[in-house]
């Protein structure tokens, strides 16, 4: 299968049905060896593009990863970004907000972690948690200290979607490109991965009873994801729903999307002025003596 980034892009303004969206597609590789070769090629391309991206210093790139537990976010980030210079990349993982963070608006803590120009920022979970887990567990919303008149659960999600879309439009207008990945895992595949975490001693640390408790809310999460992706996938900040039952194929899809996004910026190394070229030649003459 030849990968096309647009095949996984969530269409803006259209209602999404995750039941109809695949969690597995024909793989782009025929063997483990070919997978490793393809990933290595894309990692090499990404590394070269990242060096150019850093040198150009005109754009920032924000990659957002959201998924159900065991969908492979950590592994995708680790493998896809393995060739990127750490100086040009920042990774943030957002857990339960602190008391200080709860005293601010829901976008505050993530806004502080946005990437600078020339850098790639990665959010492993993000401000989208505020319209996903908080929606599935409304008791979290009620504990956030918001004024009572703002706790209308029929309106607050619509308002938060609008806040998010406006933020991402603002970022786009200021040179930050936002690409969002939802790793679409099936309930059955999650069950198998949970069992593997129990059966394999080196994976025991990944598993907790909280994971099983959240699994009970699968349908509610799927509904929350459907509405969220439909409301916030835009032309300038698209969502990609990546079939995640095959971890290797998901990594190839993600790396292809990131490479295509950077290529689309049509970057070029900064041109030297005549004065700068003369300066370099003068330095060269000194070094040649």
**Domain holding 266: CATH number?**
3.40.50.300
Angle at 143 between CA 124 and CA 165, to 5 degrees: 45
Judge contact between 137 and 83, C-beta under 8 A.
no
Average pLDDT on 162-191 reads 98
Query: Distance between CA 289 and CA 275 in Å, rounded?
Result: 22
pLDDT digits (tens, 9 = 90+) for 81-104: 999 988 899 999 998 888 899 999
Q: What is the mean pLDDT of residues 16-33?
A: 96
Domain of 43 in residue numbering reads as 5-288
Q: What is the predicted pLDDT for the residue at 210?
A: 82
Determine the pLDDT at residue 276: 82
Q: How many structural domains is the chain composed of?
A: 1
pLDDT digits (tens, 9 = 90+) for 235-279: 999 999 999 999 999 999 999 999 999 999 998 887 778 888 888
Total-model pTM: 0.93
CA triple 222-223-226, angle to 5 deg? 85
Please list, residue by residue across 140-151, b when 16 or more beta carbons sit within 10 angstroms of its beta carbon and e when fewer do.
Answer: ebeeeeeeeeee
Check whether 17 has a pLDDT greater than 90.
Answer: yes
Q: Are 162 and 129 in contact (CB under 8 A)?
A: no
């Amino acid at each position: 299968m030849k990968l096309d980034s647009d095949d996984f892009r969530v269409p803006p303004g259209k209602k999404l049905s995750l039941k109809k969206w695949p969690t597995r597609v024909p793989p782009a590789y025929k063997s483990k060896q070919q997978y490793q070769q393809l990933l290595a090629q894309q990692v090499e391309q990404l590394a070269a593009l990242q060096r150019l991206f850093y040198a150009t210093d005109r754009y920032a790139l924000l990659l957002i990863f959201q998924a159900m537990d065991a969908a492979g976010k950590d592994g995708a980030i680790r493998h896809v970004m393995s060739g990127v210079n750490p100086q040009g990349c920042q990774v943030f993982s957002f857990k339960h907000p602190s008391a200080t963070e709860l005293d601010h608006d829901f976008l505050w803590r993530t806004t502080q972690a946005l990437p600078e120009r020339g850098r790639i920022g990665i959010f492993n979970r993000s401000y989208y948690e505020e319209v996903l887990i908080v929606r599935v567990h409304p008791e979290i919303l009620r504990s956030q200290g918001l004024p009572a008149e703002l706790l209308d659960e029929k309106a607050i999600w619509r308002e938060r979607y609008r806040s998010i879309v406006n933020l991402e439009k603002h970022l786009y207008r200021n040179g930050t490109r936002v690409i969002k990945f939802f790793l679409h895992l099936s309930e059955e595949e999650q069950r198998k991965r949970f069992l593997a975490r129990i059966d394999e001693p080196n994976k025991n640390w990944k598993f907790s009873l909280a994971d099983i408790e959240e699994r009970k809310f699968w349908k509610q999460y799927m509904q929350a994801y459907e509405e969220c992706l439909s409301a916030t996938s835009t032309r300038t900040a698209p969502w990609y729903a990546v079939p995640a039952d095959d971890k290797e194929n998901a990594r190839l899809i993600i790396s292809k999307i990131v490479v295509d996004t950077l290529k689309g910026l049509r970057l070029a190394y900064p041109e030297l002025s005549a004065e700068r070229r003369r300066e370099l030649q003068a330095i060269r003459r000194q070094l040649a003596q």
